[in-house]
A and B are shown apart, each in its own frame.
Chain A
Amino acid sequence: MSYVQGATGEWEVVIGLEVHAQVVSQAKLFSGAATVFGSEPNSQVSLVDAAFPGMLPVINRVCIEQAVRTGLGLKAQINLFSVFDRKNYFYADLPAGYQISQFTQPIVGHGEIILDLPDGSTRTVGITRLHLEQDAGKSLHDQHPSKTYVDLNRAGVALMEIVSEPDMRTAEEAAAYLRKLRAILRYLGSCDGNMEEGSMRADVNVSVRRPGGPLGTRTETKNVNSIRYVQQAIEFEVERQIEVLEGGGTIKQETRLWDTVKHVTRSMRSKEEAHDYRYFPDPDLLPLQLDQGWVDAIAATLPELPDDKKARFQEQYKLSLYDAGVLVADQASADYYEAVARGRDPKLAANWVIVELFGALNRLGKDIADSPVSADKLGGLIDLIVDNTISGRIAKDVFLAMLETGKSAADLVEERGLRQVTDTGAIDQAIDQVLAANPDKLAEYKAGKEKLFGFFIGQIMKMTQGKANPALVNELLTRKLQA
């Protein structure tokens, strides 16, 4: 257990997260308006979303399916009977004056997420519940000095609110939780996990206590939209709360927001009174009843999820926990790796994908989906190494050329004459030339300075433009020097 050292002793941090994940669907939760991000203001609004009088909500089948899929992916209990409630509050971007949500009877109950921590260990975090609700509209405050502009395109889009147990103890664990949740959502296809566009946002609950003591009062920092900000907000809150408590003060239970410019959390005064939401069952909607057979049919279509895939990669390809973890972090990487590994040495394939390919994509700022080198072509390169057409060192140059040109390894090797020299006559000739050109070094070597062996190897490789088979050079040079 990692505690935070304060001025008066150790503190334990308790963190719970509420994640709002936008459901992947064509239309909104209760209307037929589109959900696409970035359209003209109010162009994707039905009169239901704008809360015109007399308009009634009708629930979208796919949104229910996505919530159930997600619940199954979180190994959670699916509630065959759930109820929609009205959560009442006033805000300019909430036209009805209430949000349709689920309160006492959510569609998904208790589940869990297994965190993969940087040291290779794992830790299980409980999921309290998942419920369906409507998103609100978007308020723009920077368009006019005294006015707010409201766009309702997002109003009524389906969200899954996924609530964790207060099971996390460090900012790193919170980050690992968000990464894992995002991976699971993306594998399931129920949320695109794009935090920049706001399709995944986190409310961060933080409190501190003396190790083993009673829970402290928590604060909730709302709508944090990147994993890095979540970590920073937690670190700031922990420091702030410890300072307040050690100074003899008390923590006020309140809603705060993360200031992305000043990197501080601050109190949202307006929210203080708004906590009286006066939930009641929405009279416009009957309870949501699911058939167990329908749920089972969805369960049968779930993809292999990251934890299972990781276990299989370790088992089937004999990969290390770390390599398997990196490869399954997103489905596209895992699929790419499996295409490269098919019929090839799985460890060599893992090395090329993780070290060379991921390294290159990182430098280029590209996603695996738009990798300039396809899995097929990377496989072709590995084949050339394995059958000794090129050395591992030349292969790295060929790979760089593949990144630039998109050509196949075989074509590049042919075009640039990079085929490995395995002709002993040619290598012998190169060795003779190098030894003849460096009589002083040869004399030193013979006098006992054996580390010059490496120098000779380097010169020979240089003379053959790296194309000589390194094992052969080694063997022939040894023989010649011993002669």
Chain B
Amino acid sequence: MSLDKATVAKIAHLARIKVPEADQDHLAQELSAILAFVAQLDEVDTEGVAPMTSVVEHALRWRDDVIDDGGNVERVVSNAPEQVAGFYVVPKVVE
């Protein structure tokens, strides 16, 4: 599987990463090489084998339905570039 320049541009946009057009060809080659490396796994016969979801033999931990967090407006918005009355404030995003 190899990526073309247009796909690289699209992935970059979806990830909100700015990739100048001049770098896109090069990046396409690099990503293609990575995909080719990983594609070696396709050679293994996995017929009838369930996908592995974790390498550890742990069960998912469950929490009880108890309120033990929150009430921390200042800490929550502390890193926001702008805040008003406890709200995060961002440039207008509206339909």
Contacts and interface: CB of A to CB of B under 8 A. Distances in A.
A binds B: yes
A287 B86 contact: no
B84 A149 contact: yes
Contacts of A152: 76, 88
Contacts of A285: 60
Interface stretch (B22-30, B39-47, B65-73): B65-73
A63 B60 CA distance: 14
Among A42, A50, A60, find the residue whose CB has the most chain B CB atoms closer than 10 A. A42
Interface string A258-295: 00000000001110010010100100011111000000
Contacts of A42: 73, 76-77, 86-88
Interface string A103-147: 000000000000000000000000000000000000111011111
Among A34, A50, A257, A270, find the residue whose CB has the most chain B CB atoms closer than 10 A. A50
B76 A50 contact: yes
A455 interface: no
Contacts of B13: 273
A285 B56 CA distance: 12
A473 interface: no
Contact of B59 (A26, A270, A276, A286): A286
A474 interface: no
A47 interface: yes
Given A47-B76, A62-B65, A152-B76, A41 B85 contact: yes
Given A47-B75, A148-B93, A150-B88, A31 B69 contact: yes
B90 A147 contact: yes
Interface residues of A, number: 55
Contacts of B48: none
A43 B13 CA distance: 33
Nearest to A31: B69
B89 A148 contact: yes
Contacts of B91: 146-148
B61 interface: yes
Contacts of B53: 83, 281, 286-287
Contacts of A25: 65
A92 B95 CA distance: 13
Nearest to A140: B87
Given A147-B90, A149-B84, A32 B63 contact: yes
B92 A59 contact: no
A236 interface: no
A148 B90 contact: yes
Nearest to A26: B65
Nearest to B63: A58
Contacts of A40: 73, 86
A166 to B, nearest CB: 26
A286 B66 contact: no
A360 B64 CA distance: 43
A338 interface: no
B14 interface: yes
A59 B87 contact: no
A273 B66 CA distance: 39
Contacts of B49: none
Nearest to A285: B60
A269 B94 CA distance: 11
Nearest to B86: A41
Interface in A431-460: none
Nearest to B65: A62
A45 B70 CA distance: 5
B70 A150 contact: no
Interface string A1-40: 0000000000000000000000001110001111000001
Interface in A193-227: none
Nearest to A277: B14
A50 B82 CA distance: 15
Interface in B5-33: 10, 13-14, 16
Given A42-B73, A287-B53, A148 B94 contact: yes
B83 to A, nearest CB: 9
B73 to A, nearest CB: 5
A158 to B, nearest CB: 10
A34 B90 contact: no
A152 B54 CA distance: 31
A416 B93 CA distance: 65
Nearest to A138: B87
Given A47-B72, A47-B76, 11 more contacts: A32-B63, A43-B86, A61-B63, A145-B92, A146-B91, A147-B82, A149-B87, A149-B88, A150-B88, A151-B87, A273-B14
28 contacts: A25-B65, A26-B67, A27-B65, A27-B67, A27-B68, A31-B69, A32-B70, A33-B67, A40-B73, A42-B73, A42-B76, A44-B70, A44-B71, A46-B70, A58-B61, A61-B65, A92-B88, A141-B92, A146-B91, A146-B92, A147-B82, A147-B89, A147-B92, A149-B88, A269-B95, A286-B53, A286-B54, A287-B53
- What are the 7 closest A-B residue pairs judged by CB atoms, nearest first? A62-B65, A32-B69, A33-B70, A46-B69, A149-B87, A32-B68, A150-B88
Interface of A: 25-27, 31-34, 40-48, 50, 58-64, 83, 88, 90-92, 139-141, 143-152, 257, 268-270, 273, 276, 278, 281, 285-289
